[in-house]
Amino acid sequence: MESAAWTIWDHMLGEIFRKWLIEAVRIERKKKDPKLFARTLNVSINDEDLKSETNRVLGWAIKSARDCQKDVICDEYHLLKSMICQEKDLDDEYVATKYDVTTILCNIGGDGKLSLVTEEFLLWGMKAMRNIAKELTMEDFTLKGDKAIKTAKKVILSHSSLRSDFVLICQRQQTRILRHYEGSNLKQTQAIPNFSYDLTTKVYNAVMEKACNVRFGEVG
């Protein structure tokens, strides 16, 4: 029994020393080369890769969140549905300027049935994916492990700019729908989804949680 206690004690001391050593080395390296730990310099994503990641990761995250909805007539389902589309729904400008070659190949000319982010949400999605990519680097994961993932996810979920931009785009979507039904009868107008602040915040959290899990999982 006494031998087991000493073994546990040795293990605890060894773990404390390991964490201290890693942090000490990290501090030394940061002093010698501070740029090494600058997130903005750790990750470089060109526009084509960013478009690809947005459709691949965020497109999947939105579809996954949508498919979790049991009630297909609820406002949350309608909002998520308006955020993704299929290749057949794209216009020529989207294909020419926003649909990258990698995604086209992965989607097998539309037969792959990938869910793509709609044009209304694409620029926001690219900004979101750039922030997600920069928030957790291989360096962070190597030094801090799972704690780095939890910290990075918390930053993204509470990111005020990404969240407020998303809410604004959802409000614009609501306006587009209202304009679409202008001149319709009252019964049709009453069926228009209501993208409230609480709803858009809930959708933001659900989508970002899934996108972070996928992207951070690839880093780790």
Q: pLDDT tens-digit profile of 6-20?
A: 666 665 666 666 556
Average pLDDT over residues 51-70: 92
Rounded to whole angstroms, how far apart are CA atoms 162 and 167? 9
**The pLDDT of residue 192 is above 70:** yes
Find the range with the poorest average confidence among 127-136, 189-198, 211-220.
189-198
Percent of the chain with pLDDT over 70: 73
The pLDDT of residue 102: 77
Computed over every residue of the chain, the mean pLDDT equals 80
**The pLDDT of residue 29 is above 60:** no
Average pLDDT over residues 191-203: 89
Rounded to whole angstroms, how far apart are CA atoms 49 and 37? 23
The pLDDT of residue 61: 96
Highest mean pLDDT among 1-5, 69-73, 132-136, 169-173: 169-173
pTM of the entire predicted model: 0.73
Report the 10 Å Cβ neighbour count for 84: 22
The pLDDT of residue 39: 44
Average pLDDT over residues 132-142: 82
Average pLDDT over residues 81-102: 86
